[in-house]
Structure 1
């Protein structure tokens, strides 16, 4: 069980022996923060210059509105960016370690901004989108009708949770405890993990209610239920931004039950993998370094995300406190960090194969066809990743 940010499986700190690598040099030298955005951006070195190799604007479809779980991508957004409130997008220079790569990046909001369509479907109707952010289970589910390939994960594990009122259920410590009760479990109909939990016998089929709509009213009105959420979002929101609740919630990561997917995979359409390969060779390591840099020192990028959200009144309010708290949860729970081998932004082939093997029958039962010849490495590839990129310990507090 987790109450606020405390976890049964909390990782104490970050592995201090790991260091970030920049272009093959193992170094964790911290740059000085500055509030002043330069009018001219220094050019990136040739190995990080994307002009003529990548599209002039690299379009990225996000899963939701800007927030800190996508921080690695917003780390790529250089000064002088513009917010388009009609298109629900942000465009600016694509930077690598703050240096201009010669191309722009456009980050497009998902969720309500695209009529709640899936990221994979949007990638197949919007030709301006080169990359999409797709959770591992959704990537597998789309493998027949809208196939995409994950090229690097932003998060090593899913922040998906089931949460509950600790005052109503003081005896619950885990999702397994929920399954041993008769409590209703409210989830959205597009989530795959509830089917997996039922298939594993952790939850009972009759417990699942697929009417979740992201609003807190259901939980506030009936604190006896368990409800889906994300560790970096709902617990903070319910305690600090839902006046009708205003108390800590308890939660357990779905990953603690063994649902071990990679979350927020940067993915490319399978039919465009080869045509974009020269770009991906250079771009994917830049994304990896950006993710490692954000995990180390997220403050400036979180300020950027909060500024972007504040410029569009259609977005849910997003404060600096919420962004920083969400990032801390991702790092502290081991969701934003290195792989077991110490690398950052790479895939474990055995793990992706296990994910595919476990989800194939569940998805098939639910009406999704997953080709029997597909393998985990077909869907999640290390072809473009740089295994010399590792994680810095977080910047010491001043």
Structure 2
């Protein structure tokens, strides 16, 4: 499973915590429709994708529907159909509410693809146009499943370590956790944990890789620290986990060297040239969708909420959580403009530094990272329109 989206197939239940078996994740088979595309106007010629892009642009997401993928779901226009068996939504690909002339299909990850990584799924199923692949996952996959990121959805990772401020009033940062003997609950094989140990911020014997997504461990033992998403758990624990019902404190991993780009939209590297005519038009549309989602996330959140309901897996994600997440993405600078004032691009010096940092960590964990792998094979700004950015107050 990808490092960024390694979440568990878990249900949050008020004061009971029931771990639902993976076999129970998803059961429907009907395809339903929602909304109407009849009144859509055509996008201007510069944003018409028919003839240069696939008739259906297929996007493979690495997890269930959630706000972190909001810029992608924001592209799904009215009149979309939902395949509740395969966990896919297909509709007109829209920009500023106008029809680009092609469809977009967004496919859920996680259980819907057998918890395989997005690069592996992209190489198994060549109908996939774009996939969300975090930088460290792209490095790990580069030998056999190389991908190149063409547009970032977020500038920084929302992953964090969190703790109970009442139990640990002296903890302000992750480094403070490392000065203690407290256990840190992480996912198995979490690359960021190896990074934190390598940087001397935490001790190796503190890492407990038994994270399963359930809040029960944290609630029953507030002495621990635990991984989470700054876009979700702070709200969920305070407002939806009734056995906790109070704030948590956290620090973003991006503050302490976890420099990856989380879930940028990526193509199979060998198809970059072939897709260039499409990407020249499509990437600026993705940039517009990202800026639009930041300013007004309602449409994307409505689509996400509808899909969570219709997919009916064990994934529990309330609309209130989505609304909180969308706000936090902007507030914490996870979603924002780069140094040039545009959205969706990459700081290539940062990509190079990330490769330098994570190459030895991934190699030590068993990944075969090509010796000649370079930053420009992991990401490109070739298709970024530097005039498209988020409005700032």
With structure 1 as the length reference, what TM-score do the two structures score? 0.87
Q: Tell me how many residue pairs correspond in the alignment.
A: 359
Query: How far 1:38 sits from its partner (Å)?
Result: 5.7
The root-mean-square deviation of aligned C-alpha atoms, in Å, is: 1.4
CA contact (8 A) 2:140 2:369 kept: yes
Distance 1:344 1:315 in 2: 33
Map 1:308-387 to 2 at 5 A: 308-387=307-386
Write the mapping of 1:23-102 to structure 2, written as runs, cut at 5 A: 39-102=38-101
Cα offset, 1:317, TM superposition: 3.1
1:249 paired to 2:248: yes
Query: What is residue 212 of structure 2 aligned with on the other side?
Result: 213
Structure 1 position 46, deviation (Å): 1.3
Deviations 1:217-256 (A, max 9, x none): 2212221111111111111111122222222111110011
Q: Is the 8 A contact 1:293 1:392 kept in 2?
A: no
Match of 1:5 in 2: none
2:135–2:378 CA contact under 8 A, matched in 1: no
What residue number does 1:388 align with? 387
Q: Secondary structure at the match of 2:86?
A: coil
- Rounded Cα–Cα distance in structure 2 between residues aligned with 1:78 and 1:393: 26
Q: Distance in 1 between matches of 2:115 and 2:382?
A: 31
User: How far did residue 114 of structure 1 move?
Assistant: 1.6
Q: Is the 1:90–1:108 contact (alpha carbons within 8 Å) kept by the matching residues of 2?
A: yes
Instruction: Report deviation, 1:315.
Output: 4.9
**Whole-angstrom CA distance in 1 between matches of 2:203 and 2:126:** 42
Tell me, yes or no, if the aligned pair for 1:120 and 1:146 is still in contact at 8 Å.
yes
Q: Distance in 2 between matches of 1:71 and 1:170?
A: 35
Give secondary structure in 2 for the equivalent of 1:274.
Answer: helix
218-227 vs 97-106, greater mean Cα deviation: 218-227
**1:108 correspondence with 2:107:** yes
Which residue matches 1:170? Answer: 169
Residue 21 of structure 1 corresponds to which residue in structure 2? none
Alignment of 1:130-169 (within 5 A): 130-169=129-168
Per-residue CA deviation, residues 266-313 of structure 1 (Å, 9 max, x unaligned), is: 001112212212111111111011001111111232122212222222
Distance 2:45 2:189 in 1: 43
Aligned to 1:24: none
Which consecutive residues of structure 2, in runs of 5 or more, have no partner in the other structure?
A: 1-34
Q: Is the 8 A contact 1:141 1:370 kept in 2?
A: yes
1:391: Cα distance to partner?
A: 1.3
Q: Distance in 2 between matches of 1:177 and 1:219?
A: 18
Cα distance in 2 for residues equivalent to 1:177 and 1:362: 23
Equivalent residue number for residue 202 of structure 1: 201
Residues 164-200 of structure 1 show CA distances to partners (whole Å, capped at 9, x for unaligned) of: 1111111111111111111111111242111111111
Describe the shift of the 1:312–1:286 C-alpha distance in structure 2 as closer, same or farther (beyond 3 A). Answer: same
Cα deviations by residue, 1:301-338 (Å, 9 ceiling, x for unpaired): 21222122222221523322211111111110000111
Contact 1:330 1:336 (8 Å CA) reproduced? yes
Instruction: Note if contact 1:65-1:315 (Cα within 8 Å) is conserved in structure 2.
Output: no
Q: Distance in 1 between matches of 2:261 and 2:354?
A: 9
